[in-house]
Amino acid sequence: MRRNPKITVGAALLIQTIPSIVVSLLIVGGAALLFSRVANADSSDQAAITAGAIGGSIVLGLLSIAISAISGALLQGVVVGEVARGTVGEKLSFRSLWQLVKGRIGALIGWTFLLSIGWIVAVGLVILVAVALFALGGGPGIGGGIAVIIFGGFGLIALAIWINTKLVMVPSALVLERLTIRQAVVRSWTLTRGYFWKTFGVIALIAVIVYAVVQIISTPFSILGGLLGGIFAPTSLSSGNPAGFSQLLVTQLGVNILASVVGAIVGAIMSVVQTATIALLYLDLRMRKEGLDLELVRFVEARQAGRTDVRDPYLPPLQPAPGYGPTAPGGYYSPPGPPPGSYPPPSA
């Protein structure tokens, strides 16, 4: 991040922070508008307006999730590309880096949505089974529903830890090896074999650090919002005065907007840290299992010698063709990818 802050921090601010701020403003403003209508509605219209407010909040939440997923996928591609090129001593401009990764953005977004939909379906099934048992009524039905929620919840947590750790290398494989989603899933599963606990431990440690940093920065805003509400409108909720409620709402809205802006900036920087960590773990596993470090050395030496037909070292390792030995001339083929000479990417 210090070496190339324009790409790492700059890309985070451009790709993730600006959409996050816009979405946060839309959600906070929309929620304030919806629920202020509920507070000021007549008793005869209260139920209908409340239902509309809940529906609108759900739509705003889904919009936030979709935009966050897309911006997160874009940031993953940029950061993974920057880490990979920085490893061989290159310092690309944003335009050159975008040329390198733009062809993989669709696969990254597709993978993000595919994984999200899979977990939504899994959680939905557990909830559906629990609701069905509750609907049966009686002791067995209620007890079964509670058991499904408890054991299903813990089971989903364990499954999420296992699956997400095994598939954490998929974005790196999509960008650097230019594989399909199916091939990248197999690749990630294979790379993490034998290194599950090390991979999970590093990711969990970084997640705890990121969470602590975000909480340290965001907690003062929560405290400030409560204090300002008590100072400027101490009896707004108990008095039933619409003016006092509006004053409290404006105060909370201002604090929430400021908190959203700061949180988006900090969250974007922390996303770079997490994504770069996963990219480095990917490189580490390939060095341990495939000798990628030797390929990187050969790549740098060939580039320094002035060769222009050097193969991108991050493409999948060459495999022996059927019927050929490992030392036979012409006995290797390259998996689908950019042809020789296609690297380096176009300059800015």
Q: State pLDDT tens for residues 170-187.
A: 999 999 999 999 999 999
Angle between helices 105-136 and 181-191 (to 10 degrees): 80
pLDDT at 209: 92
Question: Tens digit of pLDDT for each residue in 28-87?
Answer: 777 667 666 666 666 666 667 666 667 777 777 777 777 777 887 888 888 888 899 888
Question: Residue type for 330, please?
Answer: G
From the number of C-beta atoms within 10 Å of its C-beta (0-12, 13-18, 19+), residue 140 rates as: exposed
Give me the torsion for CA of 10, 16, 19, 23, rounded to 10°: -140
Burial zone of 49 (CB within 10 Å; 0-12 exposed, 13-18 middle, 19+ buried): middle
Top-ranked range on mean pLDDT: pick from 11-15, 53-57, 153-157, 217-221: 153-157
Residue 185, classed as helix, strand or coil, is helix
Give the pLDDT band of residue 2 (cuts 50, 70, 90). Answer: confident
Domain boundaries, the chain: 5-302
At residue 92, the 3 state secondary structure works out as: coil
For the chain, state the CA radius of gyration: 26
Cα–Cα distance, 242 to 137 (Å, whole number): 43
Q: Do residues 284 and 172 make contact, with C-beta atoms less than 8 angstroms apart?
A: no
Stretch 268-291: mean pLDDT, rounded?
Answer: 90
Write down the pLDDT at residue 333: 35
* The pLDDT of residue 164: 93
Output the pLDDT for position 338.
Answer: 43
Contact present, 141 and 107 (Cβ < 8 Å): no
Which one of 37-41, 162-166, 272-276 scores highest in mean pLDDT? 162-166
- Percent above pLDDT 70 for the chain: 72
261, with CB counted inside 10 A (0-12, 13-18, 19+), is middle
Residues 250-276 have a mean pLDDT of: 75
CA–CA distance, 23 with 41 (Å, rounded to integer):
27
Mean pLDDT of the chain: 77
Q: Rounded to an integer, what distance in angstroms lies between the CA atom of residue 189 and that of residue 191?
A: 6
The whole model's pTM is what?
0.74
Q: What is the pLDDT of residues 192-220, one digit of tens each?
A: 999 999 999 999 999 999 888 888 887 77
pLDDT at 326: 38
With 50 as the cut, is the pLDDT of residue 328 above it?
Answer: no
Distance CA 248, CA 227 (A): 11
What confidence score (pLDDT) does residue 166 get? 95
| Residue where the block lists tokens 């773990």 | 281
Residues near 72 by Cβ (< 8 Å), separated by ≥ 6? 16, 112, 271
